Structure 1
């Protein structure tokens, strides 16, 4: 077996090399300096500054309310923390869909003001012009197909996408189109594993799955779900590696009790 190449810095080129070498790509979200430093230090390949910050950090029901300024704030906090990972930043809802010039302006602002390494856009043929314009400016683009949370009101539900043959065919076409116009990778969210495998085998760019089975080139989860800080969200694709919700609740409860009983601070914890 050949030794896996060690990357001092992960780049868009590294990801394509990983796919060619059959090395799986690990990706997690992060939205702030402290968390990003931990995630990067643990050896993650890609950090996604997701518009899921809208839900996780701000408590919104959907990803729609988060603004470009807020995404730049989160992304710049993450970029300051990392030494190795590739940082991909979501373009938020309303900053690229209707006008390719606005899409380019949005992407340029993210790259200039946050220092991120690439942007991610949701959608296929309907946003082709926006993607091309961003790519022509030399900005790397990651695609996102399947369940596209910014279109939640169109779908009406966060259910599995592309189960019907017509939608599955369109998704495969869109993935090939994204590769052809120059995207360096594509995320597939919540689609049948069989279809995700077919997409991954049909394109030479890395395919990162979330709820898209094991036969893709890498996986992404929302960090706060993966470490169990959130506890209400239980999709089938989520594996919780910790139960931080319980640990933190117990620790904070203990602190409250120690303060109330004058147990904290003790003689050693003062000057």
Structure 2
């Protein structure tokens, strides 16, 4: 049985064709209502493991589980119809072996209906990416600053500061592109190094705390909308929702205590 739809969700090919033609707009989404609001304006929605910190109050991303990612991935797919949806592979779900990564990525793809998964670079990443892509699972790679490795690296460290680090990041980018990743997130990387990476690989680069010369940009939506007082240097706030929410809650509380809510026209 065939059916037609008024909208067409962006594809892997659409994302890859953007390189050198137009900038890719990417944001994080974790819930259906937010996904619906972002969908019209974004090429790619990332169900990031940052959900652990943003929505669940965790101190970092290492405690995020596969089940959490699948739950939020389902919600974002239900709320979107235009953007390509990518779901993060959480810490511990892909490092053991390519076979384990495949089993977990297959779960993510089948249970959420998303179009791709994202995984952070490690020494086994090229082999894992190739294994997944060969079996029909599209992959976005993640290089530069890697939040899942904060304990190994002693915190969140900007990549590309030294010549050694510059060469390392260029090699990481080359490896993931050669392995079949269709896109690479470049996080927390010196501007000139991120620019060099973008020029050196045939796949689109998505910057976060990197260079304006990346092929696209991504931010954590809640950071960009001003939901938190403290945000990384690379975040530009386009709204101040935290203060607006606090003002709204304060007004509601005052009205309730003064018996000014609900009014006659707000009851049955």
Q: Secondary structure at the match of 2:218?
A: strand
In structure 1, the gaps of 5 or more residues are: 1-6
Given that 2:127 and 2:179 are in contact with CA atoms closer than 8 Å, whether structure 1 keeps it comes out as: no
Instruction: With the length of structure 1 as denominator, give the TM-score of the two structures.
Output: 0.94
| Deviation digits for residues 190-220 of structure 1 (CA, Å, limit 9, x no counterpart) | 0101000101011110000000020110000
What's the counterpart of residue 4 of structure 2? none
* Partner in structure 1 of residue 153 of structure 2: 155
Are 1:82 and 2:47 an aligned pair? no
Aligned residues: 262
Report deviation, 1:51: 0.3
Query: 1:223 — aligned with what?
Result: 221
Question: 1:213 & 1:203 partners in 2: Cα distance?
Answer: 15
Match of residue 64 from structure 2: 66
Residue 103 of structure 1: aligned partner: 101
CA distance in 2, matches of 1:182, 1:128: 8
Please give the alpha-carbon distance, in whole angstroms, between the structure 2 residues aligned to 1:160 and 1:40. 30
Superposition deviation, residue 178 in structure 1: 1.0
Give the RMSD, CA atoms, in angstroms: 1.1
Number of the residue aligned with 2:10: 10
The answer to whether residue 36 in structure 2 is matched with residue 37 in structure 1 is yes
Match of 2:23 in 1: 24
Q: Residues 125 and 176 of structure 2 are in contact (CA less than 8 Å); yes or no, is this contact kept in structure 1?
A: no
**Mapped contact 2:101–2:128 kept (Cα < 8 A):** yes
Aligned to 2:264: 267
Deviates more, 1:248-257 or 1:7-16: 7-16
Q: Deviations over 1:3-56 (max 9, x none)?
A: xxxx942111111111132x0000000101111111113x11100000000100
Deviations 1:216-251 (A, max 9, x none): 100000000000112222x22100000000000000
1:3 corresponds in structure 2 to none
For the pair 1:130 / 2:128, whether they are aligned, the reply is: yes
CA distance in structure 2 between the aligned counterparts of 1:78 and 1:231, rounded to whole angstroms: 26
Deviation digits for residues 139-187 of structure 1 (CA, Å, limit 9, x no counterpart): 1100000000000001111131221111210110111111111110000
Contact 1:124 1:175 in 2 (8 A): no
